[in-house]
Structure 1
Amino acid sequence: MTATDPENTGPRKAGPADGAAVSAHVSVEPADILLIEDDAQDAFLVEELLADTPLDSRITWVPTLGDARKHLTGFRGCVLLDLNLPDASGLGLLREVLTAVESAAVVVLTGLHDEHEGIAAVAAGAQDYLVKGQVDGSLLARSLRYSIERQRADENARQLREAEMYARENMRLERGLLPQVLLDSSPLSHLSFYRPGRKRAIVGGDFFDAVQKDGTTHIVIGDVSGHGPDEAALGVSLRIAWRALVMGGVAEERLLPALEEILISERAQEEMYATLCQTSLDVEREQARIRLLGHPPPLLITSGEVKEILAVPRPPLGVFPEDESDVEEVAFPRGSTLLFYTDGLVDAFDGGPPDRLEVHGLRRILIDVLDRGTSLTDLPGQVVDEAERHNGGPLQDDVAMLLMTYGEQA
């Protein structure tokens, strides 16, 4: 056990008293002890008591709270705290120490006539209290070791609760990003797919939705830049706002300018933006009107062929606000399927860096998978599996996919 005094005389070896035989003890994990005690004799006694125990301890002794502050930040171990110091005392002293050492245990020292302070200290968050003059080495070592282990158990339990809450919050965000589409009166059938990437354990900002309104089916798929709760929350806001605008009867050419205003007002940082593809399907005219804002275009599966739609992309939503984006009109005959996806799919490597899969690579994969006789129901999973094979492992980013078929899914 080493100890350092406030005079900075250097580490010294604290061992059994001279002439005493060293007992054979089972080795235990060293315990870091920060002793905050203004009485030098009491501090020396603590060191001597611990020297005769199996607890392998490293003691740092400071006489005041002011001296202790530089040691408290990030300290892990046990703080042995006298509640009556020259520059602080009582529960106010304890609260400051507890606030500064969230991951350390705190054991308080009280006088014989101040035992009530020890009881109050435990109620306020200390792990234990000891009465000066009534402590031997075994009791002191046991209290310190027990307090450290209990603090670790409490910390593990807290982290587990936080992880469970985080998982529940992610589930709520996912439900907001990937909703049940509103196509009850539409002649279209749909299939959605989502697979998280390996880069994060948290939900990203991928979102999609589809709403049928006045004979036209409107579809949106997008991805908020970055990863984290702010991006996911913004994705949820955009998806809900878009649905509200469509259901409110806003003209399709005004949907994206209105959505851009909402993004600008709701984003947490000015540099946040969203890539987005909006498509309006007019099944009576067998036509799809596609608007791209920094997003990869959908792929059209029709008559056994896979076509890449060469729509002109505009800047992402929130980068250079404009009144409206360019529109690409393409044929969408009965029996056709449009495959919408987020860029986590085309950002996969095509056999390794630096080459990316890109849209043409995704089209090639799609053709190969369809040539095997894969049904549309199984298509998204097999496409992502194949992309991961090209990538050499799980994809870095999340992948959301939405298939819209004019007719029943095969």
Structure 2
Amino acid sequence: MPVPVPRQRETPATENGQAVLPQASLTLLVIEDDPAGGLTVPEILDADRHRIRLRTARNLTEASRLLTPDVHCILLDLALPSGGAASRTAAGGGTDTVDQLDTLRQVLRIAPRHAVLVLTAEADAERAAEAVRVGAQDFLFRDELDGRLLSRAIRYAVERKRADIAQYKLAESKLRAQENARLERGLLPTPLLEGSDLRFAARYRPGRSRALLGGDFYDTVRTPDGTVHAMIGDVCGHGPDEAALGVELRIAWRALTLAGLCGDELLATLQEVLEVERPCEEIFATLCTVDISPDGRRAGLCLAGHPAPLISRPGRAAQLLPYENSGPALGLLPKARWPRRQVELGGAWSLMLYTDGLIEGRVGDGRERLGQDGMVEMINRHLDRGLSGEALLEASVTEARRLNGGELTDDVAVVLLSRGTP
């Protein structure tokens, strides 16, 4: 029996000999295998009295070809066999229920973002309801079909699909936020500074779009002897594997530090961790570690391919700590050594550790980068304005982004430890 799906009028409006379709009109893709077409409804109009455009396909292969982005809705005849004669039941020649819904499932796979209506006989109401449970937006009975009913069903299906997609994206966004928050707790730890007179501040911005995590990592802990240990590091790369490796290195550093390791011995052990955990041999990580004496006046500094920290003191311009004999990045050279240098801090100071994402951002539209010298000048400007702590870090990262002309492409982490300063 012919399938009564709608047909456009034979004489559409024309302009300069060409058919004119309203820009706001919807497009319906009809999938049915009746050789005669069976298009009996004369016209379908949307809510604004625009004609709904029709495309027809006799099988899923044709449907895949016609399923362009401007298609809004699909009308599927549930009697369409999923695999030709092999899909027919041996008993009566009709289509098996499972096969019919399998055809619908195939349509949903090839058109996950399109609204889908199913067409069936009134006697198959149970099967029609099952089709909606499988994923169709609504069902229609052949014997009741007319242009007005179909037009309303199309509008409803399109809006319901949009709402479903929006709800799915919202749920996905919430799950991603929850998962990122759990991971963020591992990457951005709470400093363990109980009993210390040092003040701590930090800022972190990942380079990956819509990510909370990057390959940069940092931590700060105070050991029982009163020494404050701080570190900041950067795993090369920007993907989730690098972020995960950064978390592993950060946790390993905290455990090793609390166990009493320091300097070269600690970095050598971290290199062993990296070599075991990294996804490929090309991955390396830079690292800066600082151990501040209990009286807060001296510090031991180790650099593994990482930029030197910045120190500022009252009444003096901020400057980079001198460090000529830094060791290589972790993972580059087997059996490498990382010499520890003693640094005099004084009575009042602020020490800023950072990753290269802060200094490698561009300045304006050219190829010039901010660099360490540009960063020092920027920090001194903010210090002259009286900024310190969280406000200093926020202003510095914001200005680096502004100079770059937009978001920084690399991860950025900055840690600030202060003593005796406002």
> Match of 1:287?
298
Counterpart check, 1:61 vs 2:56? yes
The 3-state SS of whatever aligns with 2:192 is: coil
The 3-state SS of whatever aligns with 1:171 is: helix
Counterpart check, 1:218 vs 2:229? yes
> Match of 2:276?
265
> Match of 1:202?
211
Contact 2:327 2:337 in 1 (8 A): no
> Match of 2:342?
329
> Match of 2:4?
none
> Match of 1:150?
160
Contiguous gaps of at least 5 residues in structure 2:
1-6, 13-20, 88-98
For residues 329 and 210 of structure 1, what CA distance do their matches in structure 2 show? 19
For residues 149 and 359 of structure 1, what CA distance do their matches in structure 2 show? 54
For residues 295 and 105 of structure 1, what CA distance do their matches in structure 2 show? 53
Q: Deviations over 1:349-381 (max 9, x none)?
A: 345522222112222223333334444564323
- Residue identity opposite 1:226 in structure 2: G
Tell me by how many angstroms 1:385 deviates: 4.5
Counterpart check, 1:167 vs 2:167? no
**In the TM superposition, what are the counterparts of 1:85-124 in structure 2 within 5 Å?**
85-86=80-81, 87=83, 89-124=99-134
Aligned-residue Cα RMSD (Å) equals 3.2
Contact 2:208 2:238 in 1 (8 A): no
> Match of 2:254?
243
Contact 1:177 1:205 in 2 (8 A): no
Contact 1:277 1:297 in 2 (8 A): yes
**In the TM superposition, what are the counterparts of 1:6-405 in structure 2 within 5 Å?**
14-15=8-9, 29-41=24-36, 43-45=38-40, 48-50=42-44, 54=49, 56-71=51-66, 76-86=71-81, 87=83, 89-186=99-196, 188-194=197-203, 196=205, 200-203=209-212, 204-215=214-225, 216-268=227-279, 271-283=282-294, 286-302=297-313, 304-311=316-323, 312-350=325-363, 353-376=366-389, 378-388=391-401, 390-391=403-404, 395-405=408-418
For residues 336 and 389 of structure 2, what CA distance do their matches in structure 1 show? 37
For residues 238 and 181 of structure 2, what CA distance do their matches in structure 1 show? 15
Contact 2:302 2:340 in 1 (8 A): yes
- Residue identity opposite 1:97 in structure 2: V
Contact 2:361 2:400 in 1 (8 A): yes
Contact 1:346 1:356 in 2 (8 A): yes
Contiguous gaps of at least 5 residues in structure 1:
1-12, 19-25
Task: Please say which of residues 140-149 and 305-314 is displaced more in the overlay.
Answer: 305-314
Contact 2:288 2:303 in 1 (8 A): yes
Runs (4+) of structure 1 exceeding 6 A deviation are none
Tell me by how many angstroms 1:14 deviates: 3.2
- Residue identity opposite 1:402 in structure 2: V
For residues 200 and 373 of structure 1, what CA distance do their matches in structure 2 show? 33
Contact 1:15 1:52 in 2 (8 A): no
Cα 1:264–1:78 change in 2 (3 A) is farther
- Residue identity over aligned pairs, in percent, reads 39
Q: Deviations over 1:93-126 (max 9, x none)?
A: 1122212211011111112332321111112111
- Residue identity opposite 2:273 in structure 1: I
For residues 49 and 351 of structure 1, what CA distance do their matches in structure 2 show? 58
For residues 75 and 242 of structure 1, what CA distance do their matches in structure 2 show? 54
Tell me by how many angstroms 1:154 deviates: 0.8
Cα 1:376–1:62 change in 2 (3 A) is closer
The 3-state SS of whatever aligns with 1:50 is: coil
Cα 1:361–1:65 change in 2 (3 A) is closer
For residues 273 and 387 of structure 2, what CA distance do their matches in structure 1 show? 40
Cα 1:44–1:376 change in 2 (3 A) is closer
- Residue identity opposite 1:222 in structure 2: G
For residues 133 and 61 of structure 1, what CA distance do their matches in structure 2 show? 20
> Match of 1:4?
none
Q: Deviations over 1:143-182 (max 9, x none)?
A: 1221111101111111122223223333333332221111
Q: Deviations over 1:1-34 (max 9, x none)?
A: xxxxxxxxxxxx932689xxxxxxx968322322
Q: Deviations over 1:337-358 (max 9, x none)?
A: 3211122221233455222221
The 3-state SS of whatever aligns with 1:40 is: coil
- Residue identity opposite 2:309 in structure 1: P
**TM-score, normalised by the number of residues in structure 2:** 0.80
For residues 365 and 28 of structure 1, what CA distance do their matches in structure 2 show? 52
- Residue identity opposite 2:33 in structure 1: D
> Match of 1:7?
none
For residues 71 and 295 of structure 2, what CA distance do their matches in structure 1 show? 69
Cα 1:116–1:206 change in 2 (3 A) is same
For residues 28 and 302 of structure 1, what CA distance do their matches in structure 2 show? 66
Contact 1:52 1:137 in 2 (8 A): no
Tell me by how many angstroms 1:193 deviates: 2.6
Cα 1:247–1:73 change in 2 (3 A) is farther
Cα 1:75–1:192 change in 2 (3 A) is same
